[in-house]
Structure formats: C-alpha cells, structure tokens
C-alpha cells in the first residue's frame, strides 16, 4: 500500500451500489499506538514499536517526540526505533496538541521520568468539551504540582508517589496517562474505576515488557508497583478493533460478504452482537471475522454507547449510517461524548431520515440514500459518510478527508480491494 493517506486536502469520490466481497487485513490500532509511542519516553534504552498504522496521528506523535529530543527512525516495515535517552525539551506545543488531542499522553511519562512537563491544554473539539481534569487531578494526588497558565498545563514533581486513585468517570487516555505516570512512582498506585478498553491492556503489556509491574489491566482496578527505571523493548501494536468493525459495517450495508484478517473478535463482542441483530451472519476464528449479509435487508437496531466492554462510541456514527438504510426504526443513545451527532446532519443531506434530540437519535430506514457532496467534522463521522456513499445512488464526494486519514490507513485502497468504486482525488 502506498502512503497516499497522508495528504491532508484530498477528497474521496464514492459511487454506490457495489456489494463488498473479499478479504482485507486490519492495520495496527491507532488508539493503542499513540499511548505506546508516548511510553517510549519512559525507556532508558532503545525501543522498537511495530505494526504501526500509516496515519497522520502517528506522524504527529513522531514530530512531537522528535522535538523533545527523541532519536526516531521509521523503517519500511512501519517499525519505529526510538531512543529517548537525550530528551531535553519537556513541552507539547499548542500547534501539535490542537491537531492531535492525544498529545496529552506525554504528560504522565515526562513528569514521572524527568520531573517536569508543559502541555498545551487540549480544549474542546468537534465531539464535545473533552476536559482533561481527571488526568491532572490524578497527577496532583500523586504529588505533582500543577499550574494552568496561558493555556498550558505546567506540571512538576520530585518523584511521584503511589496512591489510591478513584476515577470519577471512566477515561481512556486519563487511565493511560496515570498508569504510565505510576510505573516510575515511589510505591504502589491503585487506579479504581479504570478504563477497561483493549488499548489499555495493550499499553500495559508493552509497559510490562519494558520492566513495569502492572496488574489488573483489562479490569476496573489496575495496580501498579513503581520501579526505578524502565528499559527499552520490542513491542508490536495490536490490530485496530474499530477499523475492523467499520469494514464489517460496510459489508453489511452493501449486502456483501467479507473476511477481515488480523482481527480480534474477543474485543468486539458488543459490536458483533449488534451486527448479528441486523440479520447478517457473523463468523469468527481466533484472528479473523467474517460477515455475510446473505442477500437479506438489514433490520435497524437500538444502540447505547458506553465504555468497554459495552458498545463503543467510536462505532456510533457507522451504526447511524447503517440504521439509515435498514428496515424499521433504530435508536442511538450516545452516553460518552456530549456532541457526537454531526454526521447525522450530513447523512440527512443524503436523504437519511434521522431526528436528533440531544444525545439521542431516531432513524427511520429509507429505501435509498442519494449521493451528495458531504464533509465531516471528525474521524468516525467521516467514516460514516464513506459508508453511506457505498450504498447511495450516484456519486458521493466526501470532503475534509484528513479526518478519515487520521484513523483509517489507506481506506480507499482497502475498500477498492473489496470491490468498491472509490477514488481519492487531490484538491
Ligand atoms: N472526561 C472528563 N475529564 C477527563 C477525561 C475525560 O470529563 O479528564 C470525559 C470526556 O469528556 C468524555 C468521557 O470522559 O465525556 C470519556 O472520555 P475519554 O477520556 O475516555 O476519551 P479520550 O481518552 O479522550 C479515547 C479515544 C477516543 C474514544 C474515547 C472513548 C484515544 C487517543 N482516543 O479518547 O477515540 O472515542 O477514548 O472510547 O484513545 C477516535 O478514535 O475517533 C476517538 C475519538
């Protein structure tokens, strides 16, 4: 596959109506890769991180680490060799944080290893206000001194001290930041009400390979015994469950039959159950998932998003698109983010019948969507528009696809491999 997905201003042109058939491979998980790359800041020796997806956010993270003084080499197999022994800048600047909120993930590692960190406050974004108060409160409870000034978080600490942290709300990157901070803290840290997402497990496994002592990851109670140093290691990022599931929804919507290789069915139970409820046949092996729409029309489903293991918010937009062409009425309740229905208004422009009431959307399936020029405001929203384009009559032009490129490696190549009529055109 080429690296074309990094162009920020292209459009995708999709001609709908082709059922998807064939097999594709899942790429490495963006939301596991980002914290794992931040964790290289903790290593005393060279780290090699493999199975990285070719995505904008990975490039941004490399730029961020590079500016801090990390020596980075990306080889042709998309493995990053990182040496963070000469870090001399402890700042995540505004221009990088504003393009990638996950830059906040350097806060915990910098603070715990070097005793200082300055990170631009991420602020709101297209899916909600998304504060980072719980990251900061946790670090303060571990002994950090934190000032918020001029739009930056300024944090210092001599050595963080292990303590009991009860998270008021389940937060994925918050849990990751605090878990990383705790690896080099003095004593034991217990994170209660921790996020249980598979990306937390991948990060903890990577940290343990580096010499950390973490237990309980994957449960709501993570126990981290601080150690003096962490060493370099070699680690491969797990496959991207959201990418896998997005292609499965595409196959269902188009009435196709596909197999997604390098998949983790154990991480997608809630999504696979919902897909089965639409009437498609889902099969799975240890590292693949198959979907066969069996030529039947889909039934609309009711979905409520919530932290793992419940239905992921990152699949909500794709199921809104699915419901818009399914038989009957489906409801979507978004409980994780306050403002994640921007895609609904673009889907309406393609003929979808969706009513949005706050964090609740009611969709009445229509016989067909019609192609239209559409633009998305965030990553999963733009994926839902591509899916809608795959079944719409005529041509759909999806603009602002730098959002898609943040999370889907070579989306048009993978879809074309499954038979879709889709092409990328430069502006
Ligand atoms: N929250 C707070 N205070 C905090 C942290 C979070 O109030 O200090 C709230 C948020 O505003 C939100 C809820 O807690 O309402 C959950 O947010 P969370 O912190 O879990 O989200 P995140 O860590 O910022 C990650 C993913 C998102 C994914 C969410 C939920 C990464 C880099 N990002 O974000 O991924 O939607 O968890 O699963 O891991 C995406 O890939 O499209 C994406 C947005």
CA distances for 68 relative to 47, 62, 92, angstroms = 16, 10, 8
Task: Answer whether residue 183 shows pLDDT above 50.
Answer: yes
Contact in structure between 406 and 379 (CB atoms under 8 Å): yes
**Residue located nearest, by CA, to atom 39 of ligand 1:** 31
Q: Which atom of ligand 1 is found nearest the CA of 197?
A: 38
Residue 3 — pLDDT band, cuts 50, 70, 90? very low
**Residue located nearest, by CA, to atom 31 of ligand 1:** 31
Burial label, 286 (beta-carbon count in 10 A; 0-12, 13-18, 19+): exposed
Spatial strand order in the sheet of 21-25: 21-25, 257-261, 288-292, 281-285
* pLDDT given at position 9: 65
* pLDDT given at position 126: 79
84 is catalytic: no
CA dihedral 333, 175, 269, 262 (to 10 degrees): 130
Task: Answer whether residue 127 shows pLDDT above 90.
Answer: no
Task: Answer whether residue 25 shows pLDDT above 60.
Answer: yes
Give the span between the Cα atoms of 185 and 388, in whole angstroms: 48
For helices 379-391 and 241-254, angle between their N-to-C axes, nearest 10 degrees: 20
* 169 CA distance to ligand 1 middle (Å): 10
Count other C-beta atoms under 10 Å from residue 129's C-beta. 10
- Its sign, for the CA torsion 98, 99, 101, 103, is negative
Six-digit token pair at 81? 């060799």
Task: Answer whether residue 37 shows pLDDT above 60.
Answer: yes
* 101 CA distance to ligand 1 middle (Å): 10
The DSSP secondary-structure symbol of 413 reads: H
Our measurement of the distance from residue 181's CA atom to the centroid of its chain's CA atoms, rounded to an integer in Å, reads: 21
Q: Which atom of ligand 1 is found nearest the CA of 379?
A: 42
361-401 confidence digits (pLDDT tens): 999 999 999 999 999 889 999 999 999 999 999 999 999 99
Percent pLDDT > 90 in the chain is 91
Q: Which of 36, 171, 174, 377 to mutate to test the pocket of ligand 1 (most atoms within 8 A of CB)?
A: 171
Task: Answer whether residue 2 shows pLDDT above 80.
Answer: no
Task: Answer whether residue 6 shows pLDDT above 70.
Answer: no
Mean pLDDT of 205-212: 98
CA distances for 310 relative to 68, 115, 192, 195, 267, angstroms = 37, 37, 18, 12, 10
User: For the ranges 4-13, 102-111, 262-271, 289-298, which has the lowest average pLDDT?
Assistant: 4-13
Which residues sit opposite 83 in a β-bridge?
Answer: 71
**Residue located nearest, by CA, to atom 29 of ligand 1:** 172
Q: Which of 124, 127, 130, 383 to mutate to test the pocket of ligand 1 (most atoms within 8 A of CB)?
A: 130
* 275 CA distance to ligand 1 middle (Å): 24
288-337 confidence digits (pLDDT tens): 999 999 988 999 999 999 999 999 999 999 999 999 999 999 999 999 99
Residue 14 — pLDDT band, cuts 50, 70, 90? very high
Contact in structure between 141 and 111 (CB atoms under 8 Å): no
User: For the ranges 36-50, 114-128, 228-242, 413-427, which has the lowest average pLDDT?
Assistant: 114-128
Average pLDDT across the chain, whole number: 95
**Residue located nearest, by CA, to atom 2 of ligand 1:** 131
Give the span between the Cα atoms of 215 and 412, in whole angstroms: 40
* 425 CA distance to ligand 1 middle (Å): 32
Ligand 1: lining residues by beta carbon, under 6 Å:
31, 34, 102, 128, 130-135, 169, 171-174, 199, 312-314, 336-337, 379-380, 407
Task: Answer whether residue 236 shows pLDDT above 50.
Answer: yes
- Its sign, for the CA torsion 185, 191, 195, 196, is positive
Task: Answer whether residue 4 shows pLDDT above 90.
Answer: no
Q: Which of 246, 336, 407 to mutate to test the pocket of ligand 1 (most atoms within 8 A of CB)?
A: 336
Count other C-beta atoms under 10 Å from residue 241's C-beta. 26
Q: Which atom of ligand 1 is found nearest the CA of 378?
A: 42
Six-digit token pair at 402? 């730098």
CA distances for 59 relative to 52, 53, 54, 209, angstroms = 11, 10, 8, 24
Task: Answer whether residue 1 shows pLDDT above 50.
Answer: no
DSSP string, 230-268: B---EEEPPB-HHHHHHHHHHHHHHT-EEEEES--GGG-
Put simply, whether the predicted model's pTM sits higher than 0.75 gets the answer yes
Q: Which atom of ligand 1 is found nearest the CA of 338?
A: 15
* 281 CA distance to ligand 1 middle (Å): 31
Six-digit token pair at 267? 């991480």
């Amino acid at each position: 596959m080429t690296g074309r997905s990094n162009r920020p201003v292209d459009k995708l042109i999709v001609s709908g109506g082709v059922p998807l058939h064939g097999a594709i491979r899942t790429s490495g998980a963006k939301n596991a890769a980002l914290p794992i790359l931040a964790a290289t800041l903790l290593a005393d020796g060279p780290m090699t991180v493999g199975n990285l997806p070719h995505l904008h956010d990975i490039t941004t993270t490399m730029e961020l680490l590079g500016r801090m003084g990390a020596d980075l080499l990306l080889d042709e197999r998309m493995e990053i060799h990182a040496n963070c022994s000469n870090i001399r800048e402890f700042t995540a600047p505004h221009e990088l944080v504003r393009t990638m909120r996950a830059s906040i993930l350097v806060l915990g590692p910098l603070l715990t290893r070097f005793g200082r960190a300055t990170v631009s406050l991420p602020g709101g974004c297209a899916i909600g206000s998304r504060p980072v108060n719980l990251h900061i409160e946790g670090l303060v409870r571990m002994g950090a001194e934190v000032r918020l000034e001029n739009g930056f978080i300024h944090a210092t600490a001599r050595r963080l001290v292990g303590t009991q942290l009860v998270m008021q709300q389940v937060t994925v990157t918050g849990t990751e930041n605090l878990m990383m901070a705790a690896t080099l803290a003095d004593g034991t840290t217990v994170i209660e009400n921790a996020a249980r997402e598979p990306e937390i497990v991948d990060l903890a496994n990577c940290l343990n390979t580096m010499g950390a002592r973490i237990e309980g990851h994957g449960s709501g109670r993570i126990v981290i015994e601080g150690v003096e140093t962490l060493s370099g290691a070699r680690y491969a990022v797990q496959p991207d469950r959201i990418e896998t599931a997005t292609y499965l929804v595409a196959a269902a919507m188009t009435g196709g039959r596909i197999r997604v290789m390098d998949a983790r069915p154990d991480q997608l139970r809630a999504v696979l159950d919902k897909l089965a409820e639409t009437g498609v046949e889902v099969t799975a092996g240890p590292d693949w998932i198959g979907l066969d729409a069996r030529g039947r029309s889909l039934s609309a489903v009711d979905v409520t998003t919530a932290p793992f293991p419940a239905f992921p918010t990152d699949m909500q937009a794709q199921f809104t698109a699915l419901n818009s062409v399914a038989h009957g009425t489906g409801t979507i309740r978004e409980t994780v983010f306050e403002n994640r229905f921007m895609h609904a208004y673009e889907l309406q422009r393609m003929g979808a019948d969706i009513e949005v009431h706050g964090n609740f959307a009611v969709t009445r399936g229509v016989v067909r969507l019609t192609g239209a020029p559409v633009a998305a405001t965030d990553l999963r929203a733009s994926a839902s528009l591509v899916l809608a384009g795959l079944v719409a009559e005529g041509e759909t032009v999806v603009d602002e696809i730098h959002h898609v490129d943040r999370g889907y490696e070579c989306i048009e190549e993978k879809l074309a491999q499954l038979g879709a009529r889709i092409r990328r055109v430069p502006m």
